[in-house]
């Protein structure tokens, strides 16, 4: 039998994230890979920031969806796996230093909300480390402006675009954390509010 160290740290992060996107948290495998997450922290690791973001998302998914306990489960997880605190710290540092460019549709949605007198915050970061396009904080409503890269098409010419796995995963995490999520597909927004 080969353990988690038989795969690269980057592969471990991708595997954990992929399992979480699918909502699958096999206890033995998931714990073994999470316990080994400290290998992703070494500065020489390629894709270190991306790996930490994927690890944090997977751990958050496990705590909110797989562990069944929400915030308390996350604290328990952080206590059980001390290296995960460093993963969280690196993830948050990466988010803080990353410049976020809003799409024109995102800016348009924000302008329309403002014109309607709807108080909102653009690029809001939740306590869990998730980034929201527009957040109506009092209502705990997330407005996500989803571009073409958030969708996949099914087979057949008549197939409508459907949200991809990463987008569905983020929505699930937000909903489990107590947010209502409204998706504004960019292509639909442009059809409604584009040049006439």
Structural domains of the chain sorted by starting position, each given as residue range(s) with its CATH number in brackets = 4-97 (no CATH), 104-193 (3.40.960.10)
Q: Residue range 82-91: average pLDDT?
A: 88
Helix (H) or strand (E) segment spanning residue 160: none
Average pLDDT of 25-45? Answer: 84
Tell me the average pLDDT across 27-45: 84
Mean pLDDT of 17-36: 90
**DSSP assignment letter at 152:** E
Residue 165's nearest CA partner among 22, 16, 24 is 22
Distance CA 84, CA 59 (A): 8
User: pTM to 2 decimals?
Assistant: 0.85
Q: 196 falls in which pLDDT band (50, 70, 90)?
A: very low
Judged against a pLDDT cut of 90, whether residue 69 lies above it is answered with no
Task: State which of 85-94, 111-120, 149-158 shows the largest mean pLDDT.
Answer: 111-120
Question: Helix/strand/coil (H, E, C) string of 78-127?
Answer: HHHCCHHHHHHHHHHHHHHHCCCCCCHHHHHHHHHHHHCCCCCEEEEECC
pLDDT in tens, 148-174: 888 888 777 677 788 999 999 999 999
- Computed over every residue of the chain, the mean pLDDT equals 86
């Amino acid at each position: 039998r080969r353990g988690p160290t038989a795969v690269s740290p980057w592969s471990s992060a991708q595997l954990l994230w992929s399992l979480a996107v699918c909502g699958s948290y096999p206890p033995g495998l998931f714990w073994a890979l999470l316990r080994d997450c400290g290998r992703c922290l070494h500065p020489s690791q390629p894709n270190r920031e991306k790996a930490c973001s994927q690890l944090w998302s997977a751990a958050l998914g496990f705590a909110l969806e797989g562990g069944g306990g929400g915030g308390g489960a996350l604290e328990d997880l952080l206590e059980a796996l001390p290296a995960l605190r460093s993963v969280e710290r690196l993830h948050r540092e990466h988010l803080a230093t990353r410049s976020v460019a809003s799409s024109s549709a995102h800016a348009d949605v924000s302008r329309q909300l403002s014109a309607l007198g709807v108080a909102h915050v653009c690029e809001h970061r939740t306590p869990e480390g998730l980034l929201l396009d527009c957040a109506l904080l009092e209502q705990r409503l997330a407005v996500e402006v989803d571009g073409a890269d958030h969708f996949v098409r099914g087979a057949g010419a008549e197939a409508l675009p459907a949200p991809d796995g990463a987008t569905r995963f983020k929505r699930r995490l937000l909903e489990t954390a107590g947010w209502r999520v409204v998706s504004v597909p960019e292509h639909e927004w442009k059809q409604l509010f584009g040049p006439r």
